[in-house]
Chains A and B, each alone.
Chain A
């Protein structure tokens, strides 16, 4: 099995975030050879403004995030849905890195996951993420899809672990599929 370094990006900033719990659970569910690392934070990025870019250049956090994306064999987004769409903060980070020369999402394998207390588990946000990733010329894994709805009963709030065995199984399947997807679309030389 090829060794794969995967970067995980969480769409929520709050400490108690279920999507962050999911992000932390991934290493325990990954296939052999896959290591996962959380991306540096985008919380301090200013809101995108081309005047900033053209005067003082890209904020340091943008380059740090972009470098982490570039270095990774693939990126997994774990994101909630805000108002039927992508959380503005996450989208803002994507907007910033998209403006870099050699923008880091081009040709990058991507997988999507979302957690929600509601029944759809973030169905709409992943549709929106796919749309932006197409424009950025990324390769987004089609299936299996991970929408974790009704999350309150599936996570142990104290430990942050995923208690629901079926959910753990689905995630394992997706991570394994992501590994072979990366081998197909962006094989290591």
Chain B
């Protein structure tokens, strides 16, 4: 009997259309091993800035619930993100902050792998592990550290 493929959710930390990180995220389905299927997380772009008063007055925004549901339902996550000012982009962090406040906090026990692209102004896009962003992501939710993060260091994509 065939096993269910591993259902992996891909989250991109950049919002712009020409994002290199989004391009990397789109390439991933062609690179994954058999038995792994990828899908893209819904957007967090329209989330308001986290404010506890919003949470208590009108509950969690629909986009936060959609994002959390996608994370909960996945077997694992891949987060592909640029680094802004030596740290995690505020938008991505804001989304994490929102869902972290839910009763059934979606990252708990979730296996994840952080892949970070640092922008290079050249035709080749080299995927480098940015220590700052990986550190931030690894710290802000209980992600099991992945040995395969290192594989991306030498990946070159044209």
Contacts and interface: CB of A to CB of B under 8 A. Distances in A.
A139 B136 CA distance: 22
A90 B53 contact: no
Contacts of B141: 83
A165 interface: no
B91 interface: yes
B53 A48 contact: no
A51 B84 CA distance: 15
B15 A83 contact: no
A92 B51 CA distance: 14
B49 to A, nearest CB: 3
Interface residues of A, number: 35
A89 B85 CA distance: 14
A132 B51 contact: no
A102 interface: no
Interface in A58-103: 82-95, 98
Interface in B59-118: 84-97, 100
Contacts of B123: none
B96 A92 contact: no
B47 interface: yes
A152 interface: no
A134 interface: yes
Given A15-B53, A85-B139, A132-B87, A91 B93 contact: yes
Interface of A: 12-15, 42-43, 45-51, 82-95, 98, 124, 128, 131-132, 134-136
30 contacts: A13-B50, A13-B51, A13-B52, A14-B51, A45-B49, A46-B45, A48-B84, A48-B90, A48-B91, A51-B16, A51-B18, A82-B100, A83-B96, A83-B140, A85-B87, A85-B140, A87-B94, A88-B49, A88-B90, A88-B91, A88-B93, A88-B94, A89-B90, A91-B88, A92-B89, A94-B90, A95-B84, A95-B89, A98-B84, A135-B86
